[in-house]
Amino acid sequence: QNYMAHHSGMSIAAVADAIFEGRLRERFHSDPVIESAELLLQEKAPRDIPTATVRTEADERSKDETETESPDSRVILDPIKALRATNVMSNGRYSVMVTATGSGYSRFGELAVTRWQPDPSEDRLGSYIFLRDTTTGDWWSATAEPKRAQGERVQTLFGDDKASFTKSVGSLRSEVECIVISEGNGEGRRITLFNDGATDRHIEVTSFAELVLGNEASDNAHPAFSKMFVETEIAPNNGAIFATRRKRDKNDPDLTMVHFVTDPSGPSRDAEAETDRRAFIGRGRTIADAVAFD
């Protein structure tokens, strides 16, 4: 017959702790060794779990085939198959992080401008540009994610001052350059389209981003609640979207964002704007299957 003496000891210690109003717990936690591991005793579930990637010989060979580097730039030839790569650009106040597949986030100081939740399997959050052929109805993103096209060819270039994304779908080639403005607090994306075919193409260009304009931790804790405080206004000519965050506390910072589009032909181009997530993405859909492109 076995007797678990330590169980009896724990029971006696628990009774003594209750009688002496927690004195045993206080003595236990005053031990320097225990104090150093206090967080482990709380057994809190981590909010973000870092992933560890084990690189095999096949991975190293794949990297050699899909990524080349020079002292001031990196070229990722096939971002979907290549190892995860990111680029961070900043002017000291405003920062942008983009992945090789085109996802990422924007921040102003300690505040999140756009929504970001890292995912080890796919990239579906960021500031995106979509292209739609008005003749065929086919549409895709100008970067590798979030909307792919059959037979696409994608290349990403990371430099110290910008990130460039080149994508070819059929006879249409697009180039997107992403920069952080040095004189102010903002970012810019320039898209150039090349028609390598013999017939004219009519392409719609659409930009998309999910806004936070506040504390990232609060947004991650309850995104649906956080979205309720973002207010938007569309300019009369649809040339710009103004967004701000309604304050919950008088000490909350004032932050207003303006998103606008311009091109060499001037403001005469027809433009549309939409700030209703359900109207753009649709109920039960994702950005890769947005109802706006149906």
Separation between Cα atoms, residue 187 and residue 209, nearest integer Å: 13
Question: Residue 244 — very low, low, confident or very high, per pLDDT cuts 50/70/90?
Answer: very high
Contact present, 261 and 207 (Cβ < 8 Å): yes
pLDDT digit string, tens, across residues 282-294: 998 999 999 999 9
Question: Residue 72 — very low, low, confident or very high, per pLDDT cuts 50/70/90?
Answer: confident
pTM comes to 0.74
Q: Does the CA dihedral 48-54-60-61 come out positive or negative?
A: negative
Separation between Cα atoms, residue 144 and residue 141, nearest integer Å: 7
pLDDT at 119 over 90: no
* 251 vs 64, more confident: 251
Separation between Cα atoms, residue 214 and residue 105, nearest integer Å: 13
**Every domain of the chain and the residues it spans:** 5-42, 57-293
pLDDT digit string, tens, across residues 128-170: 999 999 999 999 999 999 999 999 999 999 998 999 999 999 9
Tokens of 258: 């303006």
pLDDT digit string, tens, across residues 79-97: 999 988 999 999 999 999 9
Compute φ and ψ for 156, nearest 5 degrees.
-120, 135
Separation between Cα atoms, residue 231 and residue 49, nearest integer Å: 32
57-293 fold: Beta-galactosidase; Chain A, domain 5 (2.70.98)
For residue 208, the surrounding DSSP H or E stretch is strand 203-208
Question: Residue 120 — very low, low, confident or very high, per pLDDT cuts 50/70/90?
Answer: confident
**What amino acid occupies position 51?**
T
Tokens of 61: 């060979």
